[in-house]
Amino acid sequence: MLRMLIAFPFYLTILLLNQSKIKANITRTHYLWAIAMGVLGYYLSSWFDFIGLQYVSAGIERIILFIYPTLAVLINKWIFKEPITKRQWNAILITYIGIGLAYWGELHLLPNTNLFIFGSAMVLLCGITYAFYLVGTGKLIAAMGTSIYTSVAMIAASMGIFTHYLINSFAKDHFQSIIYHIPNNTFWYIIALAIIATVIPSFLLSAGMKRLGSNNLSIVTSIGPVATLFQANLILGETFTWQQLAGTGLVIVGVLLIQKRNNITT
């Protein structure tokens, strides 16, 4: 909540500064879909992810999230009736085999598998909602523009997070006490998360989506889960098994196959 409270003024300011650039063909439907994408793809996706991270490692969380490009293909097939090629079906199969291998490598090491499975399910929901966000974003940015769409979507996500926090705080009666329980040095992390890890990446992602399209963008963002797997080991001290490494390799192969085109232009 504090992260989005800091980020919110940036999105509001950018939206107000770009009022003159709003196109005449942007309809109320576009705004409603942008709001839905913000709530679905950031608020709900983040909520599912944070719940899941309480029960699974950051490495496993990234591997599960790595399926979102394949999910985006399935969503396009389901909603927009886009055909799935043989290459894409093979890529989906390889990706899920890799996830299963990495998942099994950690599952048999844990004393409480029920919580691990629950956490994995939450992360999977995060991947599904994020895939919907990618598909919807690719369609809406072309009509609304990067700045307008990103600002509207993230303002909607912020409002969802604020509402969630207020309801949860009143229910637990700790609304006024949370600020006093946060160490001073933690605020610097929150500020960094708000600006460096929220505001800036959200506009960069939308700008990249507009120029590359959602499929090509997935190739570039594929570095995220892999980087997190190794950073979790170096920074957080999480260990990874050969099953995780092998599974990650298969997932990477699957993602690259499903996104591969004869010509990729920018």
Any domain includes 194? no
- Kindly report the backbone phi and psi dihedral angles of residue 145, in degrees, each rounded to the nearest multiple of 5, phi listed first: 90, 155
Report pLDDT for 67: 75
Mean of all residue pLDDT scores within the chain: 80
Q: Which of the two residues, 209 and 52, has the higher pLDDT score?
A: 52
> Is the pTM here over 0.75, yes or no?
yes
Any domain includes 136? yes
Domain that holds residue 111: 2-17+25-171+230-259
Any domain includes 208? no
Any domain includes 213? no
Any domain includes 35? yes
Q: Which of the two residues, 64 and 24, has the higher pLDDT score?
A: 64
Q: Are 163 and 220 in contact (CB under 8 A)?
A: no
How many helices (H) and strands (E) would you count in the chain? 12, 0
Q: Hey, what long-range contacts does 130-133 have (CB within 8 A, 24 or more apart)?
A: 130/41, 130/45, 130/65, 130/68, 131/68, 131/69, 131/71, 131/72, 131/75, 132/37, 132/40, 132/41, 132/75, 133/37, 133/40, 133/41, 133/42, 133/45
Q: Which of the two residues, 161 and 94, has the higher pLDDT score?
A: 161
Report pLDDT for 266: 37
Average pLDDT, integer, range 129-158: 89
**Residue 84 pLDDT exceeds 50:** yes
Average pLDDT, integer, range 22-37: 88
Give me the number of domains the chain comprises: 1
Nearest CA to 157 out of 12, 44, 52 is that of 44
**Residue 264 pLDDT exceeds 50:** no
The alpha carbon of residue 235 and the mean position of all alpha carbons in its chain are separated, in whole angstroms, by 21
Any domain includes 234? yes
Q: Are 48 and 133 in contact (CB under 8 A)?
A: no
Q: Hey, what long-range contacts does 50-53 have (CB within 8 A, 24 or more apart)?
A: 51/119, 51/122, 52/119, 52/120, 52/121, 52/122, 52/123, 52/126, 53/119, 53/123
**Residue 115 pLDDT exceeds 70:** yes
Average pLDDT, integer, range 213-236: 66
**Residue 227 pLDDT exceeds 90:** no
Any domain includes 64? yes
pLDDT over 90, % of the chain = 27
Any domain includes 52? yes
CA distance 21 to 44: 29
Contacts of residue 82, defined as CB under 8 A and 6 or more positions apart, other chains included, come to 73, 76
Q: Write out pLDDT tens, residues 176-202.
A: 555 556 777 788 888 999 999 899 989
pLDDT over 70, % of the chain = 82
CA distance 164 to 173: 14
Report pLDDT for 248: 73
**Residue 159 pLDDT exceeds 90:** yes
Report pLDDT for 47: 93
